[in-house]
Amino acid sequence: MAVTGANQPGNYVVAQKLASEMRHIPGAVDVHVQQAFDAPTLFMDIDRTRVQSVGMQARDVAQNVLVSLSSSFQTAPTFWLDPQNGINYNIAVQTPQYRIDSYQALQTLRSTAAFLAQLRKFCKILSPPPPPLGPLPSPTTTLSP
């Protein structure tokens, strides 16, 4: 089931109410709202001129942040073929999610502390996030029964 609309907080409330009611349906298991809205968020104001002066684009900065915060499999999938059974296995480098539960935690990780220091040369990391500039795009809140 999907709840869609321009009011993201309102959509989330409706989705939570629906999930609560659906949990009482016989046979419904693992009913939950897919999206988590309380996850830490990193807002960056990228200085495109400075980034271009070193031969990069804003996309490169975003991709490096993605790899640092999620997994190398998002941008550069790597596989290992087991020669004995012929099965391909995904290989990914990832910081455990429980270690990056806040911006302060992110700053203390060895792998990202130096990266963030370099990143500050090209962009401002904004905390708290800036207010929205206009109406939010229509999000989709999905319930996975």
For the stretch 111-132, pLDDT in tens is 555 666 677 777 776 665 555 5
In one letter, which amino acid is 80?
W
Same domain, 112 and 73: yes
**Coil/strand/helix, residue 43:** strand
Output the pLDDT for position 27: 92
Res 139: pLDDT: 46
3-state SS, residue 100: coil
pTM to 2 decimal places: 0.44
Task: Tell whether 36 and 22 lie within a shared domain.
Answer: yes
Q: Which structural domain range is residue 16 located in?
A: 1-41+129-145
Name the stretches of the chain with pLDDT < 50.
Answer: 134-145
Task: Tell me the per-residue pLDDT of 2-13, one tens digit each, with 9 for 90 and over.
Answer: 888 888 888 888
**Do 134 and 93 fall within a single domain?**
no
With left for phi above 0 and alpha for psi between -120 and 50, is residue 86 left, alpha or beta?
Answer: left
Domain check: are 35 and 103 in the same one? no
Closest CA to 107 of 40, 46, 56: 40
Only one residue has tokens 């790597």, namely 78
Tokens of 6: 């321009």
Q: How many domains does the chain have?
A: 2
Residue 133 shares a structural domain with residue 113: no
Cis peptide before 132 (omega within 30 of 0): no
- Four-point Cα dihedral 54, 58, 63, 69, nearest 10: 100
pLDDT of residue 144: 46
Same domain, residue pair 18 and 83:
no
